[in-house]
């Protein structure tokens, strides 16, 4: 068989596996957006079937032999070699999972979503606890199946940020504890900006009218996506030209929908910018990592949409939408209000600085659960104690405490650290952009975000998985991860806001 036709066979196989994965994404999206409660059990079985079929197709011996032939071929071009090498890495990892394990995990997590949603609604962790116990046991088993060198949690990190270690996370968060947390305490010692105008009545439909304008301004294409309500905001991809976002809102908390829309549209822009059509189902058509994915959403949400130049462009439009609430609020007061730093219980609504305490707490709990130093029954107590330790507040119920995030119901252990790393990547990318894009702040002030999106398309999105995170940071910014860029950004911005 000629190398070209072998590669065609390889592409065709991965395209079929991608079809199954995207079909599962459609079912998963519907599960959160439209599916009636009583459909949960059947939906769990359907998702488990698709997951198992995809796993069986990817890990069968014939596919391994095909990869062997391709790796020994001298006729593949550089892109083809990258695809094959990354697929080999994925193949070696995934073949460690027995089919029965994949099916069990899918069934349990599908059931767990419904239990989590009910528990969150009723503010009762005990409803979710039995399913979470099953998930934690499965995740511990997963670390044994995969193997690890230093800490079992690292086996799970590999799915979200390849190469990231517990030692590296601890090193980064040690700096956060020593530099960021004391700076937050300095900020909290200063008079707080007024933000009462954000808590007035903002009708949901009018909130979306403005939010839609803002995500269109970013470049999100509604011919290639849509937005719907869900209990937890997320972004999902069904294939080339179909990237969905979901939001949630509160008619007495204006920023909830807006920043959720901008955040999720940031994820959507990354997905729409990947060379997925050219490399359908292949590594080069896939996102680099969850941390880099998060860098895109955090960049748009914080470095752009919480900046003063952004609101110079857009605040007059917002005032026209809500004159009764904002006509008498000056631009500077609004800017300070949307950047108020204040400890809070809900991660997705947290300001951009205390946000990292939320992530650190989740990381500590996840690591402890996986290593077995705490059990699921301990989670509410440990969660509440950590919030009191790091943020000086204690949740009054499980919904504003350990039930607020959806991730554990999906079995997504190892995900949370990518949120902080994504923020640090975003600050580093923003610092590089300001040097490389002439008149950066002026463009934002004019509402002209197209050059910024083009920079990201060229330097980040189009790369797929061709580089790892450290390599891409070096290529785009001239250095590997440097938390100093985030700290410089934080101190410059909030020093001005709070007079520090």
Token digits for 3? 């190398």
Question: What confidence score (pLDDT) does residue 250 get?
Answer: 94
Domain presence at residue 153 = no
Both 125 and 213 in one domain: the answer is no
Range of the domain at 345: 166-498
Q: Which three-class secondary structure state does DSSP give residue 229?
A: strand
Strand order in the sheet with 242-247: 225-229, 242-247, 235-239
| 159 within a domain of the structure (yes/no) | no
Q: Say if CB 460 and CB 270 are below 8 A apart.
A: yes
Residue 21, domain member (yes or no): yes
User: Closest Cα partner for 104 from 40, 44, 148?
Assistant: 44
Look up the CATH number of the domain holding residue 343.
Answer: 1.10.1370.30
> Tens-of-pLDDT digits for all 500 residues of the chain?
454 579 999 999 999 999 999 999 999 999 989 999 899 889 988 998 998 899 999 999 899 999 999 999 988 999 999 999 999 999 999 999 998 998 899 889 989 988 999 999 999 999 999 999 999 999 999 999 999 999 999 999 999 999 999 999 999 999 999 999 999 999 999 999 999 999 999 999 999 999 999 999 999 999 999 999 988 789 999 999 999 999 999 999 999 999 999 999 999 999 999 999 999 999 999 999 999 999 999 999 999 999 999 999 999 999 999 999 999 999 999 999 999 999 999 998 899 999 999 999 999 999 999 999 999 999 999 999 999 999 999 999 999 999 999 999 989 999 999 999 999 999 999 999 999 999 999 999 999 999 999 999 999 999 999 999 999 999 999 999 999 999 999 999 999 999 98
Does residue 348 lie in a domain region? yes
> Is residue 149 in some structural domain?
no
Judge if 182 and 121 occupy the same domain: no
Q: Are residues 268 and 350 in the same domain?
A: yes
Answer yes or no: is 461 within a domain.
yes
Same domain, yes or no, for 134 and 175?
no
Structural domain contains residue 489: yes
Domain match, 126 and 183 both = no
Say if residue 406 is in the same domain as residue 469. Answer: yes
Residues 189 and 45 in one domain: no
DSSP string, 253-267: -HHHHHHHHHHHHHH
264 noted as active-site residue: yes
Q: Are residues 176 and 304 in the same domain?
A: yes
Asked whether residue 385 falls in the same domain as residue 332, the answer is yes
Q: Pick the catalytic residue: 103, 111, 264, 352?
A: 264
Q: Are residues 94 and 170 in the same domain?
A: no
Do residues 332 and 387 touch, judged by C-beta distance below 8 A? no
Predicted confidence at residue 40, as pLDDT, reads 85
**Do 170 and 115 share a structural domain?**
no
The answer on 171 and 139 residing in a single domain is no
Number of domains, the chain? 2
163: left (phi over 0), alpha (psi -120 to 50) or beta: left
Q: Is residue 431 part of a domain?
A: yes
SS (H, E, C) 153-206: HHHHHCCCCCCCCHHHHHHHHHHHHHHHHHHHHHHHCCCCCCCHHHHCCCCHHH
């Amino acid at each position: 068989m000629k190398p070209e036709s072998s590669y065609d066979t390889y592409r065709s196989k991965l395209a079929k596996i991608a079809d199954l994965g995207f079909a599962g994404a459609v079912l998963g999206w519907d599960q959160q957006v439209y599916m009636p409660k009583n459909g949960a059990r059947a939906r769990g079985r359907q998702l488990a079937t698709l997951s198992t079929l995809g796993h069986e197709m990817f890990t069968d011996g014939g596919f391994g032999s095909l990869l062997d032939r391709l790796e020994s071929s001298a006729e593949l071009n550089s892109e083809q070699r990258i695809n094959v090498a990354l697929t080999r890495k994925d193949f070696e990892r995934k073949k460690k999972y027995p089919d029965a394990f994949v099916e069990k995990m899918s069934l349990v997590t599908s059931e767990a979503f419904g239990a989590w949603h009910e528990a969150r609604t009723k503010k009762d962790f005990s409803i979710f606890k039995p399913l979470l116990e099953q998930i934690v046991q499965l995740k511990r088993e997963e670390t044994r199946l995969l193997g690890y060198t230093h800490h079992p949690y690292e086996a799970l990190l590999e799915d979200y940020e390849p190469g990231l270690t517990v030692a590296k996370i601890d090193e980064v968060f040690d700096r956060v504890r020593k530099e960021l947390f004391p700076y937050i305490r300095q900020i909290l010692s200063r008079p707080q900006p007024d933000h009462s105008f954000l808590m007035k009545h903002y009708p949901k439909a009018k909130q979306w009218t403005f939010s839609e304008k803002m995500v269109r301004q970013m470049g999100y294409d509604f011919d290639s996506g849509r937005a719907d309500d869900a209990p937890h905001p997320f972004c999902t991809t069904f294939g080339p030209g179909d990237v969905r976002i979901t939001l949630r809102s509160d008619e007495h908390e204006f920023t909830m929908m807006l920043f959720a829309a901008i955040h999720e549209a940031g994820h959507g822009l990354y997905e729409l910018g990947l060379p997925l059509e050219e490399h359908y189902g292949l590594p080069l058509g896939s996102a680099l990592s969850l941390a880099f994915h998060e860098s895109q959403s955090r960049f748009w949400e914080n470095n752009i949409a919480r900046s003063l130049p952004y609101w110079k462009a857009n605040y007059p439009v917002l005032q026209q939408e809500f004159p009764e609430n904002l006509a008498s609020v000056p631009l500077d007061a609004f800017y300070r209000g949307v950047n108020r730093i204040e400890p809070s219980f809900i991660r997705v609504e947290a300001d951009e600085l205390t946000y990292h305490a939320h992530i650190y707490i989740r990381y500590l709990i996840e690591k402890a659960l996986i290593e077995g130093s705490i059990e699921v029954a301990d989670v509410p107590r440990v969660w509440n104690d950590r919030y009191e330790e790091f943020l000086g507040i204690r949740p009054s119920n499980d919904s504003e405490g350990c039930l607020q995030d959806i991730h554990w119901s999906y079995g997504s252990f190892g995900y949370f650290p990518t949120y902080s790393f994504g923020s640090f990547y975003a600050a580093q990318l923003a610092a590089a952009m300001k040097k490389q894009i002439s008149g950066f702040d002026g463009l934002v002030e004019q509402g002209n975000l197209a050059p910024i999106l083009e920079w990201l398309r060229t330097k980040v999105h189009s790369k797929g998985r061709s580089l790892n995170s450290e390599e891409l940071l070096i290529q785009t910014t001239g250095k590997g991860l440097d938390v100093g860029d985030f700290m410089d950004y934080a101190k410059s911005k909030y020093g001005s806001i709070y007079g520090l």
